[in-house]
């Protein structure tokens, strides 16, 4: 008895069929490569994003507790300051290194901005202080940023509190425009 099942014949002579098969083969290879790349890249990007997330356990809190939301970098913060005029105030959070802390009480600090610029940070209602040895620590401040003009008298006072010599203090002879910040809370990296 003969079988009614026939095997399909494949026609191999067409140049168009060869091109289609070649295209499909390349397309599948490219898709497999793209999927493998995505599987490698996405977890790495997510891990990097998680490592940059704020964790309060890594920081000591001074002043009022605050929720860390949109943190500006020192470069972004300088741009914000440059858009302000005297009398303008913005509520922000920014992160940078502490350049200097008041050596008497820790009642003010200077934080790095882009270039040689700095932000002069005071604490709301003189209500809290930061450690005297917090120089060069990373900090996140929450509060109000504004542009101010510091008088010669204030500048000399801050220079004295900052441990400057009498000769350095004597060189202060004119008021200075400052990028000021009134913080209600500060996180300092442990």
**pTM of the predicted model as reported, rounded to 2 decimal places:** 0.68
What is the C-alpha separation between 64 and 141, in angstroms, rounded?
Answer: 11
Q: How confident is the model at residue 16 (pLDDT cuts 50, 70, 90)?
A: low
- Residue ranges of alpha helices (H) inside 55-151 are 74-83
Mean pLDDT of the chain: 86
What is the C-alpha separation between 87 and 145, in angstroms, rounded?
Answer: 10
- 8 pLDDT above the threshold of 60: no
Residues 6+ away with beta carbon under 8 Å from 118: 99, 110, 111, 112, 179
Query: Which pLDDT score is estimated for 47?
Result: 46
φ, ψ at 36 (rounded to 5°):
-65, -45
Task: Name which of 105, 97, 98, 96 is nearest 163 in CA terms.
Answer: 105
Q: 20-24, 25-29, 70-74, 97-101 — which is least confidently predicted?
A: 20-24
Share of the chain above pLDDT 70, in %: 78
What is the C-alpha separation between 1 and 128, in angstroms, rounded?
Answer: 101
DSSP per position, 3-17: ----PPPP----HHH
What is the C-alpha separation between 85 and 37, in angstroms, rounded?
Answer: 49
The owner of tokens 């990007």 is: 45
- 170 pLDDT above the threshold of 60: yes
- DSSP, collapsed to helix, strand or coil, labels residue 114 as coil
Tens of pLDDT, residue by residue over 38-83, are 776 766 555 444 446 889 999 999 999 999 999 999 999 999 999 9
């Amino acid at each position: 008895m003969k079988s009614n099942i026939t095997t399909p014949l494949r026609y191999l002579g067409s140049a168009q069929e060869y091109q289609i098969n070649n295209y499909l083969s390349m397309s599948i290879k490219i898709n497999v490569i793209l999927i493998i790349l995505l599987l490698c890249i996405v977890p790495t990007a997510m891990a990097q994003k998680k490592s940059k997330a704020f964790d309060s356990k890594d920081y000591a809190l001074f002043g009022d507790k605050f929720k860390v939301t949109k943190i500006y970098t020192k470069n972004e913060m300088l741009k914000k300051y440059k858009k302000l005029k005297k009398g303008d105030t913005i509520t922000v959070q920014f992160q940078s290194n502490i350049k200097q802390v008041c050596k008497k009480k820790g009642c003010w600090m200077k934080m790095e901005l882009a270039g040689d610029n700095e932000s002069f940070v005071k604490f709301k209602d003189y209500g809290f202080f930061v450690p005297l040895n917090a120089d060069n620590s990373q900090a996140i401040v929450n509060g109000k940023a504004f542009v101010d003009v510091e008088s010669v008298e204030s500048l000399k006072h801050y220079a004295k509190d900052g441990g400057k010599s009498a000769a350095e203090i004597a060189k202060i002879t004119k008021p200075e425009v400052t990028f000021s910040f009134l913080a209600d809370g500060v996180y300092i990296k442990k």
